[in-house]
Amino acid sequence: MKRVRCPKCDNYITFDETQYPAGYQLVFVCPQCQKQFGIRLGTSKVKDTRKEEVLDENAHEKELGSIVVVENVFHYKQILPLTMGDNVFGRYVQGTSINQPIETVDPSIDTKHCIIRVQYNKQGHLQYILRDAPSNTGTFYMNEILKDQDRIRLEDGSIITIGATTLILRIGHPNEEE
């Protein structure tokens, strides 16, 4: 299954892309705003969206790390590469100013939900610190809700839950040679 976003209202439309050959053009009418728009399968020269990018499974070992987002409602997977400093996660809304927007229809994720700070410790090793933004529904680390003042040090494989969505930390190793 594949999702496309209406260019006018950001509503998602889901369809089975395996029913059409590469290069086939599809026309959609958004059920929410009635906007008509088309897409071409498999031949777009425009960069793929984050969830459709083909990422090397070991790419996180060469960079700062990444967050694997699994939207529990529809089982869509996104991989969001982390950057140094504050990585602010939240639900994507048109005009969102956060640097790690999650493309989801989950209303229980705030537009600014949680923050993972990537920094070097005194020994020169990367560390990952989680805090709530604060959000309305809370941020959970390993099934424990964070208080506003909590700062949690994360390790590879740490599980964070925001709304009905799970985030999994994959730690990178930027100083290692290939």
Same domain, 33 and 81: no
Same domain, 21 and 85: no
Instruction: State how far the Cα of 178 lies from the Cα of 175, in Å rounded to an integer.
Output: 10
Same domain, 81 and 109: yes
Same domain, 114 and 153: yes
Length of the chain: 178
Residue of 178, 139, 133, 134 lying closest to 158 (CA atoms): 139
pLDDT digits (tens, 9 = 90+) for 72-107: 655 567 889 999 999 999 998 888 789 999 988 788
pLDDT digits (tens, 9 = 90+) for 110-169: 999 999 999 999 999 999 999 999 899 999 999 899 998 999 999 999 999 998 899 999
Domain of 41 in residue numbering reads as 2-45
- Domains identified in the chain, total number: 2
pLDDT digits (tens, 9 = 90+) for 14-59: 888 888 887 778 888 989 898 888 887 765 443 444 444 444 445 4
**Would the pTM count as exceeding 0.85?**
no
Looking at the domain assignment, is residue 178 inside a domain? no
Instruction: State how far the Cα of 113 lies from the Cα of 127, in Å rounded to an integer.
Output: 20
